[in-house]
Amino acid sequence: MEKINSNGCKSEAVLEVKQFEPALVPPAEETDRGLYYLSNLDQNIAVIVRTIYCFRSEGEGNERAAEVIKDALSKVLVHYHPLAGRLAISPEGKLIVNCTGEGAVFVEAEAECSMDDIGDMTKPDPVKLGKLVYDIPGAQNILQIPPLVVQVTKFKCGGFVLGLGMNHCMFDGLGAMEFVNSWGETARGLPLKVPPFVDRSILKARAPPKIESAHREFEQIEDISDTKSLYEEEMLYRAFCFDPDKLESLKKKATGDGKLAKCTTFEALSAFVWKARTESLRMKPDQETKLLFAVDGRSRFDPPLPKGYFGNGIVLTNAMSTAGELVEKPLSFAVGLVQEAVELVTDSYMRSAIDYFEVTRARPSLAATLLITTWSRLSFHTTDFGWGEPRFSGPVALPEKEVSLFLSHGQERKSINVLLGLPASAMAHFEKLLLMQM
């Protein structure tokens, strides 16, 4: 039985994709069964992240693409066996993996067009690009969605798209990149460069828990500006490219008033986006606003996490300001707040965050908040299943309206694409600010 997955698409071309019946791909060998522990850093980000990888080779067609990728998947799952299990709730009320060995969901599909007909893939488009990632029919919650769902879509041009739906509780960006690259190495008959370290119990909460920081990342902010009414407008999604010259210009602007000796590209760009988005959402001057972003804690833990750590090694940190101060003060003010947020992340802070969740089970609040997630240092573009590196790789959609994503861009990966969703009137103002500032 086949299913035509083509609902009305507002974009230039309507992408029609025919999905065949899903199959389960278990590990090629017997693997450990039983319950697999997920750390407290895994618990708060159990969202499905949908990504696509577009391949086309001059010398190799797409006839064998599904077979090669499916065969390599069964082999790589021997190393990453929890991905073949199913999510469950532990007696303590936390997410856990039941290692059943059932396997990942695998779907073959065909598109009635060339990959070039898809148009601009740098902009998140859940309607159009969503057809390239299989959705589990009727799933009511994440427990009903396997941790890994795979779709291989062949195109008329001889290219194909690998679409993945992966639960963030299984790994962060670096862990996901290492998994996909290991999968590609397996497809090419190579040993894994970075075998996974699967024991997450090294990040267990302390007994008794010891909360040593304020953890304002969990703090609920009152939306006195009523921004939720703005979000009743049509949501627009845009990708803004900051090339090396623009990034350098932002850094100069951030240090130009002499308040800061130096700043990184991330600090300048995240501060600029936070400041401009706050102004675009027309927040009241006394509205508190929060910036959240993830810091890779792998090297910041003492001792550092083992190489190949299979799990979330990221910790959320935060900066807070009133909208009035953020908008009126120079960029150096916002950059200074970002720098302080980065410096917060020590071994003590991260262990405290783990213990904080153990005691409170709190989840970060996103009211009046911007959450930035950074993929600009991740080498997803190097993934190779035998058809060369992908012509494009990136997300299908932003997981929440409060999320902005930074992706590396361009041939030398020196530019950064900022993906952002805003209500239509706020997006128009954001674009004006961008033109004025740059």
From CA 189, how far away is CA 330, in angstroms rounded? 54
User: What tokens appear for 123 in the block?
Assistant: 């902009």
**Is the residue at 2 inside a domain?**
no
Q: Say yes or no: 313 and 228 in one domain.
A: yes
Rounded to 5°, the CA angle 141-424-121 comes to: 65
pLDDT of res. 409 = 77
Q: Say yes or no: 405 and 331 in one domain.
A: yes
pLDDT of res. 4 = 41
Residues with a known catalytic role: 168, 384
pLDDT of res. 380 = 66
**Is the residue at 6 inside a domain?**
no
Q: Say yes or no: 196 and 262 in one domain.
A: no
From CA 17, how far away is CA 111, in angstroms rounded? 4
Express each pLDDT in 151-177 by its tens digit. Answer: 999 999 999 999 999 999 999 999 999
Bridge partners, 403 (sequence order) = 371
Phi/psi of residue 266, nearest 5 degrees: -60, -45
Residues 6 or more apart from 313 whose CB is under 8 A from it? 41, 172, 174, 175, 296, 297, 298, 301, 305
Give me the CATH number covering residue 282.
3.30.559.10
Question: Rounded to two decimals, what is the model's pTM?
Answer: 0.91
DSSP tag of 321: E
Q: In the listed set 167, 201, 235, which residue is the last one of a domain according to the structure?
A: 201
**Is the residue at 207 inside a domain?**
no
Residues 6 or more apart from 215 whose CB is under 8 A from it? 352, 353, 356
Express each pLDDT in 114-139 by its tens digit. Answer: 999 998 888 888 889 999 999 999 99
Domain that holds residue 307: 216-437
Tell me if residue 189 falls in helix, strand or coil: coil
Q: Say yes or no: 365 and 433 in one domain.
A: yes
Exposure of 65 in the CB half-sphere (CA atoms within 13 A) = 28
Q: What H or E segment, with its residue span, contains residue 316?
A: strand 314-322
Counting Cβ atoms within 10 Å, is residue 146 exposed (0-12), middle (13-18) or buried (19+)? buried
**Is the residue at 313 inside a domain?**
yes
Q: Say yes or no: 63 and 154 in one domain.
A: yes
From CA 339, how far away is CA 255, in angstroms rounded? 13
Per-residue burial over 229-267, b = 16 or more CB atoms within 10 Å of its CB, e = otherwise:
ebeeeeebbbbbebeeebbeebbebbbeeeebeebebbb
Q: Say yes or no: 271 and 350 in one domain.
A: yes
Question: DSSP of 73-85, one letter per residue?
Answer: HHHHHHHTGGGGS
Q: Say yes or no: 402 and 309 in one domain.
A: yes
Counting Cβ atoms within 10 Å, is residue 86 exposed (0-12), middle (13-18) or buried (19+)? middle
pLDDT of res. 11 = 40
CA 149 to chain centroid: 16
pLDDT of res. 13 = 59
Which residue intervals of 321-380 are DSSP H helices? 323-328, 331-344, 347-360
Answer whether 200's CB lies under 8 Å from 311's CB: yes
pLDDT of res. 244 = 95
**Is the residue at 5 inside a domain?**
no
Question: Which segments in the chain show pLDDT lower than 50?
Answer: 1-11
From CA 160, how far away is CA 110, in angstroms rounded? 9
Q: Say yes or no: 265 and 335 in one domain.
A: yes
Rounded to 5°, the CA angle 390-76-194 comes to: 75
User: What tokens appear for 430 in the block?
Assistant: 């954001």
The CA–CA distances, whole Å, from 315 to 41, 68, 312, 434 equal 7, 36, 8, 30
| Total of domains in the chain | 2
Q: Say yes or no: 409 and 310 in one domain.
A: yes
Bridge partners, 416 (sequence order) = 242, 408
Q: Say yes or no: 190 and 222 in one domain.
A: no
Q: Say yes or no: 183 and 249 in one domain.
A: no
